[in-house]
Amino acid sequence: MTAPLRPFTEQLAAAQRRADSMLCVGLDPEPERFPGAWRGDASRIFDFCAAIVDATHDLVCAFKPQIAYFAAHRAEDQLERLMAHMRRVAPAVPVILDAKRGDIGSTAAQYAREAFVRYGADAVTLSPFMGFDSIEPYLAHEGRGLILLCRTSNPGGSDLQAQRLQDGSLLYEHIARLAAGPWNRNGQLGLVVGATFPAEIARVRELAPTLPLLIPGVGAQGGDAEATVRAGWRGSRGAQGLQSSGPVVVNSSRAVLYADGGAGFAAAARQVAEATRQALRTAG
């Protein structure tokens, strides 16, 4: 099975120190929002995303391409090119493939191969709602990160995640306990917790004090950066950059990608990324 040069959690910690950053830029390409002559042209997905990567890679602790935005336009080959490009220009920045896969047995093994062999991702997002055997095949890929949906930022997340179990705990709390305990056999698990629920971020952090938390929802979804960091961050800043016993990875996608619709889109993306990075650092 494949193994990265360095385990995901170590990569993440090093990237956060190096860039002094908790910011992850999500790569969700929408051709109808591309600048100028590229607008509506799906063949420019690689060009657009590569320009964002080139403009922001020194400001981030991770990149997060969302696979559906590529697959919907038959652009998986462009995602492969983008992964290779990120390896060249930002080899120390971990890449989280946002796929939210959730299946069992041989199917899960194929999804794991897709994420870690075909695309070479350092980590992948997964749905844990089919139980441990839906994530177990991914653990065979040594050092790769598995980031499990826990308390998501969408309003409908409460339909299941906030349901009370027989022991009195909520379902998302149970997931956090499992991820911090018996499921974390490779030491590379993390959790997805939405920025729109800072109280739940704090609760997940209490239950999983050392796991990386991937926190979407800052920016276009309205999450508050300061409240997010206060709830989830456990660490300090010093001469060596960010040091954390409980890292947070705060994702911003559309606010960065589509900061400007003209020829200066990459420079505008960098400006927004820098401002977001600074807001997160100040909150920490």
DSSP per-residue letters across 105-153: HHHHHHHHHIIIIIS--SEEEE--TT-GGGTHHHHTSTT-EEEEEEE-S
Domain parsing of the chain, residue ranges: 8-283
Question: How confident is the model at residue 284, as a pLDDT?
Answer: 64
Whole-Å CA distances, 25 to 3, 165, 255, 256, 265: 24, 35, 9, 7, 15
165 φ, ψ (degrees, to nearest 5): -90, 175
64 in active site: no
Instruction: Tell me which of 3.40.309.10, 3.20.20.70, 3.20.20.410, 3.50.50.60 is the CATH number of domain 8-283.
Output: 3.20.20.70
d(CA 148, CA 76): 23
Alpha carbon of 204 to those of 64, 218, 232: distances in Å?
A: 22, 18, 8
Catalytic residue among 17, 18, 85, 100: 100
Task: Spell out, as residue ranges, where the chain has pLDDT lower than 70.
Answer: 1-5, 218-225, 233-245, 284
Q: What is the pLDDT of residue 220?
A: 47
Q: What is the pTM of this model?
A: 0.93
Q: Cα(280)–Cα(268) distance, rounded to whole angstroms?
A: 18
